[in-house]
Every structure is written in structure tokens, then in C-alpha cells.
Structure 1
Amino acid sequence: MRLLIFGGTKFLGRAVAEEALRRGHRVTTFNRGASGADVPGVTAVRGDRTSAEDLEVLAAQGDWDVAIDTSGMTPTLVQDSTRILHGSATRYVFVSTVNVYEGWPTLPLTDDSPVREYTPVGPAGESDAEEYGRLKAGCEQAVSNCYGDRAALLRPGVILGPNEYVGRVPWWLNRVLAGGRVLAPGRPDWPIQPVDARDVAAFALDVADQGLAGSYNVTAPIGHSTFGQFLHTCIKVTHSSAELIWVEDAFLREHGVPEWVGLPLWRDYEGTWNVHATRAKAAGLRCRPLEETIADTWQWLRGGAAVSSERAAELGISREREVELLATWDTRTEAAC
């Protein structure tokens, strides 16, 4: 199969390229060459997808069975890409997000949950997550308008794994490696369902191979792991002597710890880790154990990898803040005894 991948050098795009080559596909990647080295074996085409001229040059070079888009972030960008490539790529697989759902992250989700309405300008007070979901909903609309039943929309939840540029798992690995008393948020039995980038990549290619269309939630099964298993695995793979101190959600909110970023992956809304991926499972989605994802991420970090994202700088509380919170928590729990 002849594949075109938008991106192809970072995290998910790189995983798609590597898996496609492993399957024997002919792979073309399109990127600026600014975010990482090309995967050996791909045909790399340099260009900026914000440039209609560069997209026209790309389209003239191809006759692809499928275009896989892992980097479309705005409706205008995706609309231009699909319009110009419509005659050069037979089918289109777009990687979206569960953020497109109206109920994310407060409500449990299924493949048929209502999707946000796209408007060029968001409502007053719109959060970054809401804006992201609204824009991705517009991207989906652009793909569907152009490709119709030759389009597949993949909606992953949290994606982890080697090459993770956001830095969520790396933050926790580095924190437990430092040892000492580690503030563990919420409950150790809180179920979580992140998905490995390599499993998302494999599913995207399964969809391409089978010519599937429609939308698919792409998450690990509900209850795939727990936050406790996640943190204990971080301790195990780093051979750390860290001690986990579990602190209640309400206490963290009371003391202004930002959900999701203050302690990466911590958010106790009912819908955060309650996404049904029924269609994807029926279509062949397979998810490796979270322990494997964490161990492989640690090996990647040990190889000298650097987390390269502006978002990484926003992750995590300082050690001083952690010590302060744990001292306050100790005082409260002692008073309650």
C-alpha cells in the first residue's frame, strides 16, 4: 500500500511511519524537517502544510492509497490539505481526539456520544481544552465534507509511550527516580485507560489496510490499569526507593493544584477514564499492558532522549510545593486520628 503521512518524525506520526514500513508499505512523509529525524526508509518530502503552494507540489508527486493525518490542528489547515490532495490520495485517516465530544471529560463516552459544534469563534470563557475540542471537531467536519465515506476519524484519549514529547510519563519517572516521599494524587485504585502510541499507529494502519470508514474511539479498555499500578510501575522500572503518599482529590483541589498538569494525568472527573472504544475493538484494536508502555518509555529516556515540547514546561509542581503540601496533609491526617 502507498501511504502519505503528514508529519512522521515525532511521537504518533513516527510510530505510524515505523509500523507502516514494518508492514512493507511504501511510505511518503510530508513535513518541514524541523521536528526530528526522518524514519529510515521513508520518502521524505519537505514542505509546510500551511502553504497551499507546498501542498500543490506534494499533490503533484503522489498517487497514494491513503493519507494519514496526525498533525491537523485547525479546520482551515485540514480543509486546504484535503481539498488539494483529494485527487492524489484515495482515502483519508484523520487522527482527532476525544476532546471533540461535548461531554469530555465530565461524562462517560461512547462512539455515539454527541460531538461539539464547530464555530470559527468560541464562546466567551472557553478553556484551552474546549477550544482544542472545538477546533478538532471542525477538522473532522472538513475531512468528512471532502472525503465522505472514504474517511476514517480516529478519536484517541491520552496517548503515551516512547517519544512522548508532552512529557507526562517522563515527569513521573523522573520524580520517582529522585526518591523520597512522593505525593500520589487521589486513589491508587482509580481506573485509567491511556493508550500506547504504537497501538494507535497499528490501529490507524489496520483501518487503512481494511478500507474502514466512520469514527472510532481509540482508548485502552475501561479499567485497563489503575493510577496505583501506573505509579508502582514507575518505581519498579527506575529501581527507586520512593514512598507513595496518597492524598485525597478534594485536598488537592482545595490547595489549588491544577488538574491534569499540576500532577500529570490526575483528574477525577467521571468521564476522564470512562471512554468506550467498542467500534475500534470490534475492528481489531489491541492494547498492550501499561507496564510495557512505561518500561519502554523509561528505556527511551535512559537513551538520552529529551522531552521537546513547550507544554512540558507547564507540567508538574515543584519539589518545594510538594513538600509543603505533604506537610499540610500530614498535619490534617494526624489531627483526624
Structure 2
Amino acid sequence: MRLLVLGGTEFVGRAVVEGALGRGWEVTVFHRGRHEAPDGVKALHGDRTAEGGLAALEGDGKWDAVVDTWSGAPGAVRDTARLLRDRVGRYVYVSSCSVYAWAPPAGYTEDAPVVAASPDAGEGGEGGYAEDKRGGELAVLDAFGPERSVLARAGLIIGRYENVGRLPWWLNRTARGGPVLAPGPRDLPLQCIDVRDLANWLLHAAEGDFGGPYNLISPSGHATMGTLLEACAAVTGGGADLRWTDPDLILTHGIEPWTQLPVWVPPGSDLHDALHSADVSRALATGLRCRPVEETVADAWAWLRSLGGVAPLRPDRAGKGVDPEVEARVLAARDGVPGTTP
């Protein structure tokens, strides 16, 4: 297989490149040059947001498939897809479950309504992340058609190379030890996917003959808040004491789900239905396999330790984690310390 990866130096793109090289594929990486490309690839440089930024992709180069992880304005996807449509067999676009119109019901499938969007939206437009991703989908469909377009609607992605900061925050927090605010309930079902499992499926799609949208995430309950945080505490060995805390008490103290307590959203909420209850039967039927969360956590911790505990975070993503003083205040209220809000 001859594979073109747009990006390929960070998180999902890097995992895709490593997976393809492991299969013995010929890999070309097109990126801006801000990070070193993995060894063993042909590197092309260009900025998709700049005039003439696709020049390195012009010419007679051909590939069996392209994998695109772009998450900005969809105009970049539109221009790239149009340039490549006669020289690439299949376009695999890493989209997001965020494209579904709010709020998708629990158990939503790929047929659920999506947000209104345009493939022609440019930088600085009024659209947000959901509209950008949906616009990217439309751009791919316009250039490649439904049979040659794979729309991988990913959910929560975790593992090595994570540059968003969710799992790295929990790993560093449990490594610090002591009482840890563990948002309950302990058996709260989660949906997440190891970046390597996502990459494996993307490569499978690149060489396959299927197209259209797929919810790309583990089955709901493949992991729970308990299995995730207990794995973090075990692998870091920091003596973390997980203090499982009622969701109402957490919310009463103004803590923001998902950001201040990464991954967690309260049970029974629209957020939980949207983020942790998608139907993934279509992806499973095409070969999606998800490893145990304990394996993901251990691999991410080994990678994070190799970096001295500091993950390389994207500048366009909000910071994650709760302030230690706020955490202590909630734990004190949980334990009935005098002078704190019960």
C-alpha cells in the first residue's frame, strides 16, 4: 500500500504512520515541518492554510489512500480533496461524533441528524468544532463520493502521543499521590479508544472497500471511571487514594465536567449520552477491536515518563484539570470536615 498522511507527526497521525510502517507500507507525510516526521517516511512540507501551501502535493504522485486528521476550517480539506481526487483511491477523514446535532440520544447511530455546515467555510468563520468537522466530511464526499470516502467519527481518543491533556492529567495527578477526587459513580460507563486501535481501524479502512460514516470508539462500558482511574493509580505507583465522590457534590462546587475532571461527565446528562453512549455496532462489524483500558494507560504512562511527565499540548485546546485547592475543598465537604459545604 502507498499511503499519504496529511499531518502524521502528532497523536492520531503519528500512530497511523507508525502502524502503516509496521505493515511495510510506503508512507508519505505532508506536514508543516513544526515537528520531526517519523523515521522511514517520505516527508513533504506545506501549509494547507496558506496560498500555494499545497504545492508539494501537486504533480503526478499517486497513492492508494490518504488519511486526513484536519480539525480546522474545512476549506483546507476541500482544497486538498479536490487536488487529490484523481490520484488517490480512498480518502479516510478523521471526523468526530461532535458532528451530531445536539443533543444526540443515548444509543445514537450514524443515521442521527448532524449539524448544518458547509465545506466552503474559511478560517475565522462563525462555525465551531462540530461545524468544521462536518464541513470537512462534506468536502471529502464532494470530491470522492460516498463509496471512496471513509468518515471516521471518533469519540474520546486516549493513549501515547496525546496532545489534548486528558489522560496525561489523570496520570500525573495519581502519580502525585494522596487523596484524589474521583468523580462517581465508580461504575459509570465510558467510551474511549486507544489511539493505536483507532489507527489500526483507519488503516484497515484505507485498504478496504467500505465507505461512509462510522462511529469510532469503544462500546459503552468497555471502560468505566473505576477501571480507568484504578489503572492510573496502579501504573503510576504514587500511593493515590481514590475518593469516590457523588456527582451532585462535585457539581455543587462549580467543577466543570469533561475539562476540570477530564473524561468524566455526570450520569443521566445530555453530555453523557453524547460522549459515552454512541452505537458502534457498524464499526465493530468491520473489524474494530479495542484493547483493555489498563493496557492503554500503561502505554501512555511509559510514553509520558519518557518526556519527564510533561505532555506536548496543543495550543488550541483548553487546559485540563481541577485546581488542587478546589479539589481539597470538595474532598473536605465529602468527608464532612467542619466549615465546608456538605
Q: What TM-score do the two structures reach when normalised by structure 2?
A: 0.90
CA contact 1:155–1:217 (8 Å) conserved in 2 = yes
1:178 alignment partner in structure 2: 176
Q: 1:301 aligns with which of 298, 301, 304?
A: 304
Count of residue correspondences: 329
1:139 alignment partner in structure 2: 136
CA contact 2:257–2:264 (8 Å) conserved in 1 = yes
CA contact 2:100–2:112 (8 Å) conserved in 1 = yes
| Distance in 2 separating the partners of 1:105 and 1:163 | 29
1:281 alignment partner in structure 2: 284
Render the CA deviation track for 1:189-245: whole Å, top value 9, x for unaligned: 001121011111110110111132111111111210110111111111011221111
| Distance in 1 separating the partners of 2:197 and 2:7 | 18
SS at match of 1:66: strand
| Distance in 2 separating the partners of 1:333 and 1:267 | 28
| Distance in 1 separating the partners of 2:105 and 2:238 | 34
Query: Root-mean-square deviation (CA), in Å?
Result: 2.3
1:247 alignment partner in structure 2: 245
CA contact 1:20–1:205 (8 Å) conserved in 2 = yes
Which structure has the highest helix share of the two? 1
SS at match of 1:307: coil
Deviation, structure 1 residue 57 = 3.0
**2:95 paired with 1:96:** yes
Q: What TM-score do the two structures reach when normalised by structure 1?
A: 0.91
Cα distance, 1:257–1:106 mapped onto 2, change above 3 Å: farther
Cα distance, 1:182–1:23 mapped onto 2, change above 3 Å: same
2:56 alignment partner in structure 1: 57
CA contact 1:90–1:150 (8 Å) conserved in 2 = yes
| Distance in 2 separating the partners of 1:95 and 1:246 | 35
Structure 2, unmatched stretches of 5+, are none
Give aligned-pair identity as a percent: 42
Cα distance, 1:72–1:263 mapped onto 2, change above 3 Å: closer
| Distance in 2 separating the partners of 1:49 and 1:332 | 55
Cα distance, 1:288–1:143 mapped onto 2, change above 3 Å: same
Render the CA deviation track for 1:163-213: whole Å, top value 9, x for unaligned: 111111111111111111100112100011210111111101101111321
CA contact 2:115–2:131 (8 Å) conserved in 1 = yes
* Deviation larger for 222-231 or 322-331: 322-331
CA contact 1:111–1:278 (8 Å) conserved in 2 = no
| Distance in 2 separating the partners of 1:183 and 1:64 | 49
| Distance in 2 separating the partners of 1:98 and 1:254 | 29
Map 1:137-286 → 2, pairs under 5 A: 137-148=134-145, 149-268=147-266, 269=269, 270-271=272-273, 272-286=275-289
Render the CA deviation track for 1:13-42: whole Å, top value 9, x for unaligned: 0000011111111100000110x2211111
CA contact 1:103–1:109 (8 Å) conserved in 2 = no
Render the CA deviation track for 1:242-298: whole Å, top value 9, x for unaligned: 111112112222211011111111112341211111111111111111100000000
